[in-house]
Amino acid sequence: MISKPFDSAIVGTPQEAVDFITNILQASTEYSIIGKGLDGTILLWNEGARRIYGYEPEEVVGRANSAILHTPGDVAAGRHHDFLQAALRDGNWEGTINRVRKNGERFTARVVITPRHDGTGRPIGYLLISKDVSSEIRLTAALQEKNVQLERASQAKDRFLASMSHELRTPLNAIIGFTGTLLMHLPGPLTGEQEGLRLELELGDEELIALADRRALAQILGHLADNAVKFTDAGHIRLELRQRADQNGGGVEITIADSGPGIDEDTQAQLFSAFAQPGEGAHRHEGSGVGLHLCQRLAALLGGRITLRSTLGEGSAFTLSLPLASAVPAPAGGTAFSGDRHDQ
């Protein structure tokens, strides 16, 4: 059974079919549709071809060779013939090539070339359908350049944060050391205001082994504890250690909670971003705003993450979750936790 290309409700005679196809070809304005003979003479020129190339039909149909649409370099190198030979060999040819308008302007087009045959199968010409894709290519190039710029900016930011962390570490170590001497009462007894806060430890009975780098873990917990002390004027700071069971094998959770002013929801959403600062719901303190951002990145490198629970007026709790390795001996970089509840 031979399929019909048109239903009789659309066209009833061969001439009506020709008229129908001609109307479709002429109505296409976004795509150039050009028919030409084997020698390159242009035989069909639709409205899309006029809009894209700039030639009126009477200027080219039956008068011009399609070589005028190619760049001089392609014509001199015979590449326009190579495209036609490939279409004859493979049934069609499709590619992106440079084209030339009537005014000499060059542009990039996506072109499909299909051979035309007579009733005996002998090739008698070609049908070329093309579209100007210059703006699409420029947009793609601009987006790629923007992505490169964003990547460079991200790398510069990371280098800046790493450098700032390194530069701050030396003076902070001195401050931490001096604070340690005060806590040991080496300079003498502390005042009541200096003793304000109560430290509570809540540790499970079982021994837990977390896969972690000791230095990175100390930096994370140290920063979370420092923040808790900094934002809490009175009350307590509580350190909790527990095992978490889940379908991924569980893990270790270390929580540092405080009885401070808490953090509002809008600030919580941005708190782990670089240069973020607590909002109106918490006391304002001077700082770079990169500490929590760096802690979260360190936690990710350890295979974990930091989460936050906070309510205005009721305090905050930062939880560091790490992979659990309780079934295997502690690795060289592992850290073991165990103990009972203590208050001091």
Q: Could you tell me the CATH number of the domain that includes residue 103?
A: 3.30.450.20
Regarding whether 43 and 115 lie in a shared domain, the answer is yes
Q: Residue 339: its pLDDT value, please?
A: 40
Residue 27 lies in a domain: yes
Could you tell me if 128 and 205 lie in one domain?
no
Is residue 342 within 8 Å of 240, Cβ to Cβ?
no
Q: Are residues 32 and 51 in the same domain?
A: yes
Residues 318 and 206 in one domain: yes
Residue 307 lies in a domain: yes
Q: What is the pLDDT of residue 132?
A: 93
Q: Which residues contact 175 (CB under 8 A, 6 or more apart)?
A: none
Structural domains in the chain (count): 3
Percent composition of the chain: helix, strand, coil (DSSP 3-state, to 5): 40, 25, 35
Strand partners, 131: 110
Give me the pLDDT at residue 271, please: 83
Same domain for 123 and 71: yes
How far is the C-alpha of 35 from the C-alpha of 50, rounded, in Å?
13
Cα gap 75→7, rounded to integer Å: 43
265 and 324, same domain (yes or no): yes
232: its two tokens: 């809490």
Same domain for 184 and 270: no
Give the domain-ending residue among 132, 161, 178: 132
- The answer as to whether 7 is a domain residue is no
Q: What is the pLDDT of residues 203-215, one digit of tens each?
A: 766 667 777 788 8
Same domain? For 314 and 208 the reply is yes
Cα dist. 284→20, 257, 303 in Å? 75, 19, 31
Instruction: Report angle CA 230, 236, 239 to the nearest 5 degrees.
Output: 90
- Return left, alpha or beta for 96; rule: phi > 0 is left, psi -120 to 50 is alpha, else beta: beta
The parent domain of residue 273 ranges over: 197-343
- Whichever domain contains 327, its CATH number is 3.30.565.10
Whether residue 8 lies inside any domain: the answer is no
- Supply 4's token pair: 């019909």
Are 245 and 215 found together in one domain?
yes
**Shared-domain flag, residues 165 and 232:** no
Task: With a cut of 50, list the residues of the chain below it in pLDDT.
Answer: 1-7, 9-11, 279-284, 327-344
Q: Is residue 234 part of a domain?
A: yes
Q: Please tell me the pTM assigned to this model.
A: 0.42
267 and 184, same domain (yes or no): no
pLDDT at residue 175, rounded to an integer: 72
Instruction: Establish if 161 belongs to a structural domain.
Output: yes
Do 279 and 215 fall into the same domain?
yes
Count H helices, E strands: the chain?
9, 13
Instruction: Give the pLDDT confidence score for residue 130 in this predicted structure.
Output: 93
Cβ contact 192:184 at 8 Å? no
Residue showing tokens 């070589």 = 67
Residue 92 lies in a domain: yes
